């Protein structure tokens, strides 16, 4: 779980890591059980390697900051690509995670079933 007491530090660390991996952090937002990142990557990036490194290093950093092993990312991830014209509109949903998930949980948002149409 991502505690509010250290969430801002996690955001800052993730942003620094993205830069260290030669990406561009555009927006980072988290709530208790997940993080959304809007990141600019180059064609030479391998998304699976990028996220593997980001998750491993950030887990280690959180554990060091907290002083005990309490944090880990789940296996897997969801990723979407955006055209340059859609990047600005994607900032708000990433940054407003806490507010948005007060209305609808991550699970409800991610796993909603399509409505039947007749």
pLDDT in tens, 49-61: 999 999 888 888 8
Which pLDDT score is estimated for 43? 92
d(CA 40, CA 113): 30
- Mean pLDDT for 72-97 is 80
Q: Where are the alpha helices (DSSP H) in 67-115?
A: 87-95, 97-103, 106-110
Whether 110 has a pLDDT exceeding 70, the answer reads no
CA angle 36, 83, 9 (to 5 degrees): 25
CATH number of 4-102: 3.30.70.1290
Residue 17 CA from chain centroid, whole number: 12
Residue 58: partners with Cβ closer than 8 Å, 6 or more residues away: 10, 13, 14, 17, 73
Q: For 72, left (φ over 0), alpha (ψ -120 to 50), or beta?
A: beta
Average pLDDT of the chain is 78
Whether 95 has a pLDDT exceeding 80, the answer reads no
Which pLDDT score is estimated for 47? 93
Which pLDDT score is estimated for 96? 66
Element spanning 66, H or E: helix 47-66
Element spanning 10, H or E: helix 4-20
């Amino acid at each position: 779980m991502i505690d509010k007491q250290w969430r801002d530090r996690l955001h800052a660390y993730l942003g620094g890591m993205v830069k260290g991996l030669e990406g561009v952090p555009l927006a980072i937002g988290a709530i208790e059980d997940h993080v959304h990142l809007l990141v600019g990557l180059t064609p030479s990036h391998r998304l699976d390697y990028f996220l593997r490194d980001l998750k491993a290093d950030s887990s280690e950093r959180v554990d060091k900051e907290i002083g005990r092993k309490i944090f880990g990312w789940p296996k897997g991830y969801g990723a979407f690509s955006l055209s340059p014209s859609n990047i600005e509109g994607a900032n708000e949903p990433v940054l407003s995670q806490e507010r948005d998930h007060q209305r609808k949980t991550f699970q409800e948002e991610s796993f909603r079933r399509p409505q039947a149409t007749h």
